Amino acid sequence: MYTKGRWILSACALLSTEHALATGMDCTKAVSTVEKSICANTALYALDSQMGAAYRALVKASSEQQVELRTAQRAWLKSRDRCVEDVACLDQRYRERLQELKAQWSDAVAYRPDDVDRLASEDLRQAIEKSDPEFPLERVLDSLAVKAGTTNFASEGADDESHLPKTAPAGVTKDEWKALTASKINGEYGNRSYTLMDLDGDGLRDLVVDTYTGGTGLFEYIETFRRSGDVFVKRVAGPGSETSSETDSESFLFSLNGRGANQTVTWVKVRGRIYAAYQNSYYGVDHVYLLNPLKLNSDVPTISVNYRYELSVPKTQKDEETGVVTTLDAALHTALNQALSEVSKTEAKDVGDQSRPLCPIPPTGEGDGAYSSYGTGHYTFEIVGDMPITLGGDCYIGRLMDWFGGYNAKDGLYAQLLMRKPESVDGGRGYQVNGRRSMTGVTTSVGKVEGDNGM
């Protein structure tokens, strides 16, 4: 039977549920066991606050999917409540939901490349195709690099206490310095370098902040801040970041790995727009991603430049540590160059399929694995391929390794050919390899940024 009182109670319950969906836990009104468990645990309460902020951000960014979002959030609340007072279960439910909400938010607010961006990508492709076949990308990016109208300066203080200089650096206007000092841009760790440049063409210079944090990967994190009125405002903050002490991957534009990758960036101007041309390279290919510097990027215009190498082992070898120069005997020199002929000249194959041994396996000795590949690799280099090396009737295990396509005019490809006896996985020798490249093709696409180790 319908009654006015029952209708009012139902409406109030609905409003209460809608409020809870968007705001998270109000511990002054906690009634159920699960609510009391969350309020009694500082970590769970913090996760609940982050989840509430993430949900609000997603609702704001997805105006056309309100019903679907509310339905999904109610379903999650039911799943959460089944944990009752199991803290580990609740922690897992919250972390999974946070990850889902942040992924949905990123997709909702991400910048979508337009026709100008695609034309810029095509302009680069055509220019690269007409450029020097050995250094096509470097030549083109250098010609488009933003060199005028920028000011660079560094932070002061120790790594864990770095801050803006105490006085305005040369090239920084009084107005810009006032905005800088009024903005929250001091880091908690790492040396910082700053660049003022107009990233959006509004006539006001924006801010690029490069923070070196080191670590095993010698990482740098690049953030951008838009000039807005009297302050500089961070490009984007991930949902829930205001309630979280963790570093949000959405807050930085990209990262550079100085040890486990070959990455760099060039700020270029194409068709009147500024892009961070983020380059990630491997043996045989350079990938360049055109990032919008003041937006959250998802699918981006990508240019891929492919190469083919001419590989050889120089007869004269120089030890980089001692400086000692040696000359390879004819038999060894021939064997090493013959082995290189078995390696791909266009792409890294890693250790291969290892379905067959590279050298004959004797009845006793090391296990089969010692004969199927040179051994495990390391994050600091790229395995181009393993191969057998035949010398004086004996079979050795060889490996061509490089530093992710690292290349310069003097030395060519940074690569080394390793050689060891098959019965011993330790020891072995390394030989310098001369690799000269030539461009074989350039393609464009739109897709995710890959291999950025943290972007």
Question: What is the per-residue pLDDT across 105-117, written as a single tens digit (0 to 9) for each?
Answer: 988 999 999 999 9
pLDDT beyond 80 at 294: yes
Q: What kind and span of H or E run contains 425?
A: none
* Closest of 123, 172, 114, 100 to residue 295, by C-alpha: 114
Please tell me the distance from the alpha carbon of residue 4 to that of residue 10, in angstroms, as a whole number: 10
pLDDT in tens, 377-410: 999 999 999 999 999 999 999 999 999 999 999 9
pLDDT of residue 366: 57
pLDDT band at 188 (very low <50, low <70, confident <90, very high): low
Mean pLDDT on 436-449: 97
- What is the model's pLDDT at position 451? 66
Q: Does the pLDDT at position 9 exceed 90?
A: no
- pLDDT tens, residue by residue, 204-237: 999 999 999 888 888 999 999 999 999 999 987 6
pLDDT at 187: 58
**What distance lies between CA 231 and its chain's CA centroid?**
28
pLDDT band (50, 70, 90) for residue 160: low
Q: What is the pLDDT of residue 214?
A: 82
CA distance 312 to 404: 18
d(CA 153, CA 193): 6
- If pLDDT is split at 50, 70 and 90, which confidence band does 423 have? confident
At a CB cut-off of 8 Å and minimum separation 6, what does 443 contact? 125, 303, 304, 306
pLDDT at 65: 84
Q: Provide the pLDDT for residue 159.
A: 61
Q: Rounded mean pLDDT of the chain?
A: 89
For 61-101, how does the pLDDT look when each residue is reduced to its tens digit (9 = 90+)?
887 788 999 999 999 999 999 999 999 999 999 999 999 99
The b/e string for 261-293 (b: 16+ C-beta within 10 A; e otherwise) is bbbbbbbbbbeebbbbbbbbbbbbbbbbbbbbb
Residues 198/191, Cβ–Cβ less than 8 Å? no
Res. 3: pLDDT tops 60: no
pLDDT at 16 over 60: no
Confirm if 219 and 208 have CB atoms less than 8 A apart: no
Block residue for tokens 């039977």: 1
Q: Which residue has the higher pLDDT, 140 or 245?
A: 140
| pLDDT recorded at residue 162 | 78
> Over pLDDT 70: what percentage of the chain?
87
pLDDT at residue 404, as a whole number: 97
How is residue 7 annotated by DSSP?
A: H
